[in-house]
Amino acid sequence: MVALFWLMALALFALATRVGRHFGLIPIVSQLLLATFGLPLLMYVWIEPGWQLSGAELISPSWLKNLYSLSFALLLGHILSDVIDLRLDRQSLKIALPSFCLPFACGLATAIWLLPPQPWISSLAVGLVFAITAIPVLYLYLRHINYPPAATRRLVQTAILIDLTCWTVFGFAQGSLHLSSLLLPLAGACLPLLLRVIGLRQPLLYSIGFFALLVAAEHFKLNALIFGIGYLLCMATLKLPLVLPLPAIWMSRLQTWIAIPLILTFGIVQIDVHSALSNLDGVQLAALLLLPIASKLLGNWLGLGWAGGSFEGASRWRESLLLNIRGLSEIVFLNLLLQQQLISASLYFALMLMGLIATLLPALAGMHRIPLNIAAPARSPRANS
C-alpha cells in the first residue's frame, strides 16, 4: 500500500502539472498548489481513515529514504551549481544587500519575539527563509516576459548572491554546532584538487564525483551544504564546468516529474495540517504569511532604488515582485530544516504556504504564462549561453 500511495502521488503531481500548463502555469506553481492544498486533503479524507496509514508509515521504507536522498541531492546540487555561478558586479550587490538584510533581520525578530522559544540556529534558519530567492523560477519568469538581457543578468546575479549567502551562512552555522562534522565534508570538497594533481581532467568525472558524494553526504547526515559549496568552488578555481550526468532535457524531466514531487510529498505527509495550524495563534500565522513577503518586497524596493533603473521604463514594482518569488530554493531549504528537526511542522507548513503566495504574486500580476518558445526551464543565463 505504501508503494501504491507514492505511485498515486507522482501521478497526481503529473496530472496537476499538465492541467497547470493548460492554464499557462509553470510546473512549480502547480506542484506547490497541489502540495499545499491537495495532499493534506487527500491524507485527511482518504489515506489516514481509509488506508489506515500515517505519515510516519508512509516515509518509513528504506528504499524510499534512499530515493529521497537521491532526489534531494539532485535538487541541492542543481541549486548550488546555480549559486556558485556568480559574477559579482556593483549594481547586483546594491540590490542584494537590502534584499537580504531587511527580510533576514525581520525573520530573526519574528523568530525571537513572536514564535515559541527555540535554539538559535532555528531562529537563524527562519531569518534565512525570509530572505531566500528562487533562481530557476526567477529566470524562467524573466525569459517569459522577454526581459532585456542586461536587466535579466542583473536580477539573476542578485538572486545568486542572496542564495549563496543564505546557503553559506546556514552551512557554517550548522557546522559550528559540531565542528568535527565539518572535517569530512571539507575533505571531500577537495576531491577536484586531488583529481587534478593525479592528472585527471575530464569534467564529467568531476561532476559524477560531485553528485555521488552529495548523495552520500545527505544519506549519512553529513554537512552536504559545506561539501557542495566547497566542491563547486574548487571546480570554479580549476575553471572546470559542472557537466550534468544526464542530458539537460532528461535532468529537467527527472526534477519536474519525480524529484520535486517526491520532496514535496515527503515533507507534507509528515504534517497533520489541522494540528499544525492550531499550534500557531492568529498573530503568529499572520506574521509568518505576511512579514516575509512585505519585508522582502521592501528590501527589493530599496535595493532597486539604490542601484537605479536597469533600462528606460523598467518597473521597480515588477522587479520587486520577481525577486520575491521562492519556488524550488525554499522547498529544498524547508525540507532540510524539517528533516533535521530545526523547525516544527507548524513552521514548515506556514512558511511553505507563504512561499506559495510569494511565488504566485508575479502570476497574479500577469507574469505567469509559459512562453511558447521555452521547452524546458533554463538554469541560469550562463548555463544557457
Residue 278, judged by CB atoms within 10 A of its CB (0-12, 13-18, 19+), counts as: exposed
Q: What is the pTM of this model?
A: 0.83
Q: Specify whether the CB–CB gap between 136 and 328 falls below 8 A.
A: yes
The set of residues, in sequence order, having a beta carbon less than 8 Å from that of 353 and lying 6+ positions away, is: 36, 289
**Measured between alpha carbons, how far is 142 from 289 in angstroms, rounded to an integer?**
25
pLDDT of 331 above 60:
yes
- pLDDT at position 95 is 94
pLDDT in tens, 183-231: 888 899 999 999 999 999 888 899 999 999 998 888 887 888 889 889 9
Report the CATH number of the 2-364 domain.
Answer: 1.20.1530
As a whole number of Å, the CA-based R_g of the chain is 20
Query: What does the pLDDT read at residue 377?
Result: 41
Interhelix angle 260-268/62-83, nearest 10 degrees: 120
| CA pair distance 306, 193, nearest whole angstrom | 40
pLDDT digits (tens, 9 = 90+) for 35-70: 888 998 898 888 888 888 888 899 899 999 889 888
Does the structure show a pLDDT above 80 at 278?
Answer: no
252 pLDDT band, cuts 50/70/90, is confident
Grid coordinates representing 327 are 519556488
Cα–Cα distances in Å, from 208 out to 191, 204, 213, 221, 245? 12, 6, 8, 20, 6
- DSSP label at residue 242: P
- Name the more confident of 365 and 300: 300
Q: How high is the pLDDT of residue 145?
A: 67
Q: Which residue has the higher pLDDT, 143 or 235?
A: 235
- With a pLDDT cut of 90, the percent of the chain lying above it is 36
Highest mean pLDDT among 285-299, 321-335, 344-358, 360-374: 285-299
Angle at 315 between CA 313 and CA 318, to 5 degrees: 155
Segment 3-23 shows an average pLDDT of 93
Predicted local distance difference test score (pLDDT) of residue 164: 84
pLDDT at 380: 46
pLDDT band, very low/low/confident/very high, at 172 (cuts 50, 70, 90): confident
Is the distance from CB of 175 to CB of 184 less than 8 angstroms?
Answer: no
* The predicted structure's pLDDT at residue 359: 85
Least Cα distance to 209 among 240, 248, 253 occurs for: 240
Label residue 151 by pLDDT band (50, 70, 90): confident
- SS3 call for 299: helix
Cβ atoms of residues 37 and 151 within 8 Å:
no
Provide the residue ranges of all domains of the chain, joining segments of one domain with +.
2-364
Model pLDDT, residue 297: 96
Question: Which residue's entry shows cell 505527509?
Answer: 269
Q: What is the mean pLDDT of the chain?
A: 85
Q: What is the pLDDT of residue 56?
A: 84
d(CA 363, CA 316): 16
Contacts of residue 372, Cβ cutoff 8 Å, sequence gap at least 6? none
For residues 159 and 140, the answer to whether their CB atoms sit within 8 Å is no
CA–CA separation, 325 vs 136, rounded Å? 10
Query: Cβ–Cβ contacts within 10 Å for residue 340, how many?
Result: 13
